[in-house]
Structure 1
Amino acid sequence: MKLDDLSTNEKVTLAQQLWDSVADEQDVIELTTAQKNELNTRLAQFESDQNIGSDWNTVKAKILGS
C-alpha cells in the first residue's frame, strides 16, 4: 500500500488507528535520560513560579494577530 494511493479520509483514519495503537502501549514507551531531565526541569520551573501559561483563546488570538 502506498500512502499516495489513499484518499485524505483514509489517511486520517490510518493516522488515528496508528496513534491509538501507540496510546494503547504507552506504558512500554521509555523516555531517554535527556527527556526525563527536561521534564524534571520544566516541572521544577512550574512549581517555582506557578505560571500555568495562557488559555486557548489568548493563544489563538496571538496566532491570528487579533
Structure 2
Amino acid sequence: MSNHPLLKIEIAQLSIAERIQLAEDLWDSISERQDELPLSDAQKQELDQRLERYQQDPTAGSTWEAVKQRLGFSQ
C-alpha cells in the first residue's frame, strides 16, 4: 500500500465527527465484501474448535447480558 500524504492532510482537517463517519463508511465498505477476506488456517482452526466446544455444551458460555454486566455496561 502506498503512502498518501495528501490524504492524511485532508483527513486531519476533518472534524472528529467527520473522521468517525469516515471510519464507519470505510468499515461498511469492507464488511460489504467480507467474502473477499479469506480466513487463515489458524483462524479456521480456532473457529472449528469454538464450534465444537459449543456443540458439546451450548450452555457453557455466557449470555451477552451477563458479559455486559460483568464489564459494567448493564444498568
- Answer yes or no: same fold by TM over 0.5: yes
Class of the TM-score when normalised by the shorter of the 2 chains: 0.7 to 0.9
Identity %: 42
Structure 2, gaps ≥5 residues long: 1-6
Structure 1 stretch displaced more, 18-27 or 30-39: 18-27
Q: 5 Å matches for 1:2-17?
A: 2=8, 3-17=11-25
Equivalent residue for 2:63, pick from 48, 51, 55: 55
Tell me which structure has the larger Cα radius of gyration.
2
Q: If the length of structure 1 is used for normalisation, what is the TM-score?
A: 0.78
Output the TM-score relative to the length of structure 2: 0.71
Q: Which protein, 1 or 2, shows the higher relative CO under an 8 Å CA cutoff with sep ≥ 6?
A: 1
What are structure 1's unaligned runs of at least 5 residues?
A: none
Q: Which contiguous aligned blocks of 4+ residues in structure 1 show a shift greater than 3 angstroms?
A: none
